[in-house]
Amino acid sequence: MSKQINVALIGNPNTGKTSVFNALTGLNQKVGNYPGITVEKKEGICKLPRGVRAHILDLPGTYSLNATSLDENVVIELLLNKKDKDFPDVAIVVTDVENLKRNLLLFTQIKDLGIPTILVINMADRMRRKGISLDIPLLEERLKTRIAVVSTRKGEGIDTIKVLICDYRHISTEPCLNASLIDPEYFNGLRKAFPSHDLYKLWLVITQDVNFVNLDRQLIEDTSSFRTHSKSALKRLQQKETIMRYQFINGVLKEGYAVDVNAARGFRATLDRILTHKVWGYVIFFMIMLLIFQAIYDWSSYPMDFIDELFASISEWVKETMPAGAFTNLIAEGIVPGLGGIVIFIPQIAFLFLFIAILEETGYMSRVVFLMDRVMRRFGLSGKSVVPLISGTACAIPAVMATRNIENWKERLITILVTPFTTCSARLPVYLIIIALVIPNTRFMGMNIQGLTLMLLYLLGFGMAVFSAWVLNKILKIKSRSFFVVEMPNYKLPLFKNVMITVIEKTKSFVFGAGKIILAISIILWFLASNGPGDTFDRAEERVAEQVNVQDLTPAELSQKVSAYKLQESYIGIMGKAIEPVISPLGYDWKIGIAVISSFAAREVFVGTLATIYSVGNDEEETIKRRMQAEINPITGEALFNLASGVSLLLFYAFAMQCMSTIAVVKKETNSWKWPIIQLVFMSTFAYIVAFIAYQLLK
């Protein structure tokens, strides 16, 4: 037996596939993209008995092997390509005990591919409550497989899966039924034309609606000459195949699956009526969001204050402990403040992901998608567009990728173009620091005003996305028609392990992804702020002495004057002064201007940039927040971060396209530079105009 077994985890959406994946792999998992396409690839390592390791690949959810989207296409491509490094030695099909009939359609198709296939029946803890009983030996015999009955909530059955994976060579690869009986003449002709190829694999290649991306065409001969049937005739054959499979499944379940019809189902129906009500559904959703943002502010304030003080202390400790010089200044004034500018927001970002994970785990998020479909349709979108818009609260990049599930091109294009308006977690650090500076930390009717402001910004971004979609729907002359179908999963208590893995993985991804960029930019900014052209920078003390009476200043005040002069005459100061005329109407000085420009690499860099700029030459042990509070606008003499400039900044970041990675993924998804350029120009111009109006009205 090989020391590593390739395992493909396959199943319908909402069957608990992710829970099984997490139970098998724990934190030994990573997320990336499949080569050449923007579909998420989730894989992990599972340690099995006898020192064997399993490489678990969690494939995108699919209802059958008749693909209608790129996500589903990924599943078929892998199962057809034996030369793929991830081709499974064994497939695990995860099913939901309450929807076994529908789930088994996919199982019988995979069995036809000749791959050893294990059937996992999940959510076994619901069987007694729902009055379900299973005859496992009979089901194993009729389905020609081995079955693991699992409850990921109670941690039951996972060891059984591991044992079955180890024993995969003894699992039958015989199909459950003979699918070629739907049209014996056609399939006999196909068998004669391609005698060296698997019949069902050829059938899948012929009937797919989408083009294969990564499948090596040499593996399967050209079947285009064998499309003797019209497209509509092939569709009818697919329908006959589906009917035949369900007839077989019905016969199996009639003997091996029983349900007590008297089992109560009233609770879910009652809850659905309330949560999807045309009035109360929206009120409940609004209240849940309000509670989430209040909790984000109230719960995270203590760890944030601790982290802020900690990084200020670390900078001071580095200066006092290490020998004076450029390297010490780089660490104390560049790297530590830059990283501190992002680490401080870990508590709030972790809480945001915590609440999102809980909403998804309980099954409530599917109700939100259904609820919002009523709103989306009026603006030229479908309910499926809500999935990218909601996932955009984490990051616009995977959200744009999630539009692959939208079959209609017009709806998909509009969703891609408006998704960046949704407030992502990268905007969160900018919002949090500015709100803390300019919005009073008081309560209104028991609610934190800062939390209300944060929620308002989220609603503003979502509202702008919907309004832009309405405008684009009127402008884009693309004829289209689509239907919206969403599955309502059962309500369930969130699994603590699943929620924690989601929070840890998402937060880690955010911190390390942003950390690399911030570290690089902090070093560059420190160099630009610590050096300047000519002798003007080097002779800063002499120049300051010429401008002020040195004897009237304390050593600390003199040092601060010299540091401020050096910063203005540095490379970064010269660059900032050059753009100041453009940004001063928005209430920003040159330092904010540098932060705005550098944050185009990633929005969260804004805070790290200001942290670095304010730390250069500053010998006092102060937190970033205090330094920003102490900044004075040289033109007005007032605090730089006041209500007018703060609101201007908040609105600018709410609407601006401040992310080059999002531009890159939009280009890839639309296969054109036209749309990302239009997106960049419109969003940036609109953000500037709104920020300008806000500052001029409030100042």
pLDDT of 215 above 50: no
pLDDT at 400: 78
One domain for residues 285 and 260: no
Q: Does any domain span residue 492?
A: no
One domain for residues 326 and 250: no
Q: Does any domain span residue 462?
A: yes
One domain for residues 304 and 255: no
- What CA–CA distance (Å, rounded) separates 537 from 567? 9
Average pLDDT over residues 243-266: 81
One domain for residues 260 and 286: no
Q: Does any domain span residue 497?
A: no
Q: Which residues pair with 46 in a beta bridge?
A: 54
Average pLDDT over residues 215-237: 59
- What CA–CA distance (Å, rounded) separates 403 from 75? 18
Average pLDDT over residues 419-424: 86
Of the listed ranges 52-66, 128-142, 410-424, 494-508, the least confidently predicted one is: 494-508
State the average pLDDT for the chain. Answer: 80
pLDDT of 617 above 70: no
Domain carrying residue 60 = 1-264
One domain for residues 198 and 291: no
Q: CB 536: neighbour CB atoms within 10 A?
A: 15
One domain for residues 337 and 441: yes
Please enumerate in sequence order all residues whose Cβ is within 8 A of that of 98, keeping only pairs 6 or more positions apart, or say none.
123, 126, 130, 132, 490
Of the listed ranges 182-186, 293-297, 422-426, 450-454, the least confidently predicted one is: 293-297
Q: Which residue carries 């200044």 as its tokens?
A: 329
pLDDT at 218: 45
- What CA–CA distance (Å, rounded) separates 150 from 131? 17
Please enumerate in sequence order all residues whose Cβ is within 8 A of that of 448, keeping only pairs 6 or more positions apart, or say none.
294, 297, 298, 441, 442
Q: What is the pLDDT of residues 121-159, one digit of tens each?
A: 998 888 877 788 899 999 999 999 999 999 888 888 999
Handedness of CA 298, 300, 302, 305 (dihedral sign): negative
pLDDT at 264: 45
- What CA–CA distance (Å, rounded) separates 96 from 566? 66
Q: What is the pLDDT of residues 22-32, one digit of tens each?
A: 889 887 666 55
pLDDT of 354 above 50: yes
Q: Which range, 13-22, 511-520, 542-551, 686-695, has the best average confidence (pLDDT)? A: 686-695
pLDDT at 557: 66
Q: Is the separation of the CB atoms in 416 and 666 below 8 Å?
A: yes
- Per the model's pLDDT, the better-predicted residue between 421 and 607 turns out to be 421
- What CA–CA distance (Å, rounded) separates 55 from 305? 42
pLDDT at 556: 65
Outline where 439-495 has alpha helix (H). Answer: 449-475
Average pLDDT over residues 528-549: 76
Of the listed ranges 153-162, 285-294, 574-583, the least confidently predicted one is: 285-294
pLDDT at 551: 64
Q: What is the pLDDT of residues 546-569, one digit of tens each?
A: 776 666 667 766 776 777 677 778
Name the residue type at position 338.
G
Q: Does any domain span residue 498?
A: no
- What CA–CA distance (Å, rounded) separates 362 from 11? 19
- Per the model's pLDDT, the better-predicted residue between 518 and 219 turns out to be 518
User: What does DSSP assign to residue 334?
Assistant: I
pLDDT of 213 above 90: no
Q: Does any domain span residue 269?
A: no
One domain for residues 246 and 331: no
Domain boundary among 475, 501, 533: 475
One domain for residues 343 and 464: yes
Of the listed ranges 138-142, 493-497, 693-697, the least confidently predicted one is: 493-497
pLDDT of 38 above 50: no
Please enumerate in sequence order all residues whose Cβ is within 8 A of that of 466, keeping only pairs 6 or more positions apart, or say none.
375, 376, 379, 381, 418
pLDDT at 391: 67
- What CA–CA distance (Å, rounded) separates 390 from 455? 14
pLDDT at 697: 92
Q: Which range, 199-208, 225-234, 607-616, has the best average confidence (pLDDT)? A: 199-208
pLDDT of 428 above 70: yes
Q: What is the pLDDT of residues 618-653, one digit of tens each?
A: 555 456 677 777 777 766 677 778 888 899 999 999
Q: CB 13: neighbour CB atoms within 10 A?
A: 16
Share of residues in the chain with pLDDT > 90 (%): 17
pLDDT at 110: 94
One domain for residues 119 and 259: yes
Q: Does any domain span residue 480?
A: no
Domain boundary among 264, 297, 325: 264
pLDDT at 386: 72
- What CA–CA distance (Å, rounded) separates 124 from 122? 5
Average pLDDT over residues 440-455: 83
Q: What is the pLDDT of residues 654-683, one digit of tens each?
A: 998 867 777 877 887 787 889 989 999 999
Output the domain CATH number for residue 255.
3.40.50.300
One domain for residues 244 and 286: no
pLDDT at 35: 43
Which two three-digit tokens encode residue 468? 């832009």
Domain boundary among 239, 264, 289: 264
Q: Which residues pair with 43 in a beta bridge?
A: 30, 57
One domain for residues 532 and 571: yes
One domain for residues 143 and 228: yes
Q: Does any domain span residue 486?
A: no
Tell me how many domains the chain contains. 3
Q: Does any domain span residue 274?
A: no
Picking from 131, 167, 132, 128, the residue whose alpha carbon sits closest to that of residue 146 is 167
